[in-house]
Structure 1
Amino acid sequence: MTASFAAFGNLSIDDLVFVDGSTRWGVPGGNAMYAALGMAVWGERASIVAPVGPEYPLGPLAGRIDLSRCPALPRTLRNWGLYEEDGSRHFVFRRETRNWADFSPAPSAVATGRQDAAHIAPLPWQHYGGLVGALRDSGTRLISLDLDDRDLAKVGLDEVGALLNSVDLFLPSRQDAEALFPDADPIEAVRRLRAIGPDVALIAVKCGADGVVAHAAGARQGIRLPALPVDVVDATGAGDTFCGGTLVGLARTGDPLEALLFGAVAASFCVEALGSSRLAAATPGEARRRLDALRARAGTYPI
């Protein structure tokens, strides 16, 4: 039976402010959209599970993503996306949509379809446990999870550890890792997360243009994978895209390095254009060619 994939998170319309002072208003985005397109790069037609309003242009995505599980809302989540010189980004909710929970999927959304593998994108902290529990109860085999650094100052490491140990792929960003461990670089953050979650199949810290550092359960060495050298236009959504590709890679191959390669290749398409246009047009054939080019650049580090 072919695996089915789903991305649980948000659909949003983003107003972006870049470091050079340029802006772009009304860009259709959202972590669930980018994660699902990261799966679509590899030929999967994943479901998005994210509430959405009538002004979001779903039509262009219909051929690549299953949109039948998106609950209808009167309006779509809207953000300011503010970029820093070091590559970090801050998303601030617009006044009319400031209650993030109203635009996020509830555990009951799991029952609207089937998913053998699911990615949970950044959501309000209180949503994670219920979604993971509902997915496990429904028989979901693989669960990947990304964090949001805004909530991490409010929760303890014991709570983070419980969440970490409930999933199969734990995929925070460097910003998330810094919020958890302010005194640690990404490799040290992976080591500390591994100490908390010794059996989690794959732990990876996404480092933007610096690639990703990761560790597979039981491995004697960590994995260091650079980003593919492409012309970067806009990095919005690249981390979410990486997560979607990585989940597909692990589901298909069972190999952590291959999973990371799938993720890095998917992200490389995302950054080549503003919004999702290049990502939505990427084909599995293009992805395979990039994967072959990147595989030889993978390295290791002592764990």
Structure 2
Amino acid sequence: MARNAKSFVTLGMFIIDEFSFMDDEGRPTGRTLEPQIGGGGTYAAIGSRIWLPPTDIGMIVDKGHDFPENIEQKLMNYGKDMWMFRSQPTCGTTRAVNSYRGEVRGFEYLTPRIRITPKDLVGTELERPKALHFICSPTRASAIMSEVEEGWKPTTIYEPIPDRCVPEELPALKKVLPLISILSPNAEEALSLLSMPLPPSKNSIESAADEFLQFSIGEEATGWVIIRSGALGSYVKSRTTKGTWVDAYWRPEDSDKVVDVTGAGNAFLGGFAAGLVISGDVYQATLYATVSASFIIEQEGLPTISSTPNSAEVWNADSPQRRLEELYQRHTGIPH
């Protein structure tokens, strides 16, 4: 076992996001947005960082020859110990364009992807973390799990990639689920995988969770499914527990707080991993996850971190612990 193993490591990629805004007819709207830090792994790492010190978190960041200095500085503001920079001098940094045509969003890579696997962690400070997060197709999830070494039993948090949440991938998903600790699609992805009709409702989400659990998530079917359901909250269940809904932190009357949901699901799972480390309880961890997502959606891009006069960290000028206590009280009626 590596000394001081990280609590949370993500295999998600770092991406520089670029943006294109058009109207419904495909004409430029005139709106512009500077390139931003992106990538599901990055958002997951920040979701975990809201609760854990940077020394407990790890992510590989591939630096191409064009890696912007200002973006590196922004990453360092969250803590230098959480980023393992890996030089890629012969290629550019991974970039993608987020295109908006009216209300329809598109996503396209502009450069080749440099995928990260457990083998990339061997011999580094990220080796054998307690929790491992990955975002990929079910087929690739099997390849990732084949690289998890004997004797290393991480909590595996699997987030299916949206464009592979199709019925054709269901056989591959069934094959890998016994190896996975936590399966967490969003509601639309869950229903799509199972050929269930959209839009999601609480009833259909609960039915989807039951169907996934029949596929034996985790060794001896001890795993959990967490279906992230936007404004409906999140639904948490295992084969041995009653399903539970956790409210979204921001309520419908707080709609002005929801600016951009990009990365919220990724940050949710990073926050979940941190909450699991802190509390040891899946339901409690989902409350931490919900608070992490609440900070992500308040602005375009990542939330800001700063310190108060007593050295406590605040995010977007608010306390994660305060939000956690509020959410806990909302669910139980008693102070946390």
- TM-score class, shorter: 0.7 to 0.9
Whole-angstrom CA distance in 1 between matches of 2:73 and 2:185: 30
Cα deviation per residue 1:256-303 (whole Å; 9 max; x = unaligned)? 11110010011111111211133688648811111111123449xxxx
Counterpart of 1:266 in structure 2 is 292
1:257–1:168 distance in 2 versus 1, CA, 3 Å = same
Please give the alpha-carbon distance, in whole angstroms, between the structure 2 residues aligned to 1:118 and 1:153: 27
Q: Output aligned runs, 1:44-123, within 5 Å.
A: 44-45=53-54, 46-53=57-64, 54-56=66-68, 57-62=71-76, 63-64=78-79, 66-68=82-84, 70=86, 72=88, 74-82=91-99, 90-94=106-110, 97=111, 99=112, 102-111=113-122, 112=124, 113-123=126-136
Q: 1:191 to 1:68 in 2, by over 3 A?
A: same
1:161 match: secondary structure: helix
Deviation, structure 1 residue 17: 5.2
Aligned to 2:208: 189
Indicate the residue corresponding to 2:248 in structure 1: 227
Indicate the residue corresponding to 2:228 in structure 1: 206
Q: CA deviation at 1:115?
A: 3.6
Q: Output the CA distance in 1 between the equivalents of 2:36 and 2:67.
A: 12
- Report the 3-state secondary structure (helix = DSSP H, G, I; strand = E; otherwise coil) of the residue aligned with 1:103: coil
Residue of structure 2 in register with 1:253 after alignment: 279
- Unaligned stretches of 5+ in structure 2? 24-28, 198-203, 308-312
Partner SS for 1:122: strand
Whether the aligned pair in 1 keeps the contact of 2:258 and 2:299 (CA below 8 Å) is yes
- Which stretch of the first structure deviates more once superposed, 6-15 or 276-285? 276-285
Per mean C-alpha deviation after superposition, the further-off stretch among 227-236 and 64-73 is 64-73
Cα distance, 1:250–1:104 mapped onto 2, change above 3 Å:
same
Question: Quick one: distance in 1 between partners of 2:266 and 2:163?
Answer: 16
Which ranges in structure 1 are unaligned for 5 or more consecutive residues?
A: none
Are 1:178 and 2:200 matched, yes or no?
Answer: no
Q: How far 1:168 moved relative to its partner?
A: 0.9
**Where does residue 287 of structure 1 map in the other structure?**
320
1:142 counterpart residue number:
155
- TM-score, scaled relative to structure 2: 0.76
- Rate the CA distance shift 1:128–1:262 in 2: closer, same or farther, 3 A: same
- Between stretches 280-289 and 202-211, larger displacement belongs to 280-289
Q: 1:181 to 1:146 in 2, by over 3 A?
A: same
The 10-residue stretch of structure 1 (169-178 or 74-83) with the greater mean CA deviation from structure 2:
74-83
Distance across 2 between alignment mates of 1:23 and 1:210: 31
> Aligned partner of 1:72: which letter?
Q
The DSSP-based 3-state class of the residue aligned with 2:160 is: coil
Q: Which residue of 1 aligns with 2:171?
A: 158
RMSD over aligned Cα atoms: 3.0
Q: Deviations over 1:215-271 (max 9, x none)?
A: 13410x211112112511221111100000111212332211111001001111111
Cross-structure match for 1:8 = 11
Is residue 80–residue 91 contact of structure 1 (8 Å, CA) maintained in 2? yes
Q: Report the identity percentage.
A: 22
Cα distance in 2 between the residues matched to 1:61 and 1:104: 20
Q: Cα–Cα, structure 1 residues 176 and 253, in superposed 2: closer, same or farther, change >3 Å?
A: same
Distance 1:289 1:189 in 2: 33
For residues 27 and 208 of structure 1, do their structure 2 counterparts lie closer, same or farther at Cα, with a shift above 3 Å needed? Answer: same
Q: Distance in 2 between matches of 1:251 and 1:204?
A: 17
Give the letter for the 2:247 counterpart: P
Provide the C-alpha distance between the structure 1 equivalents of 2:187 and 2:101, rounded to a whole number of angstroms. Answer: 14
Q: Which moved more, 1:132-141 or 1:227-236?
A: 132-141
The separation in 1 between residues aligned to 2:229 and 2:13, in whole angstroms, is 22
CA contact (8 A) 2:100 2:106 kept: yes
Residue-by-residue CA offset, 1:3-55 (whole Å, 9 max, x unaligned): 53211111111124579865524111111111111111002321113534242
Q: What do the CA deviations read for 1:141-163 (whole angstroms, capped 9, x no partner)?
A: 21111011212337442310122
SS at match of 1:176: helix
Mapped contact 1:19–1:83 kept (Cα < 8 A): yes
TM-aligned CA distance change 1:7 to 1:162, over 3 Å: same
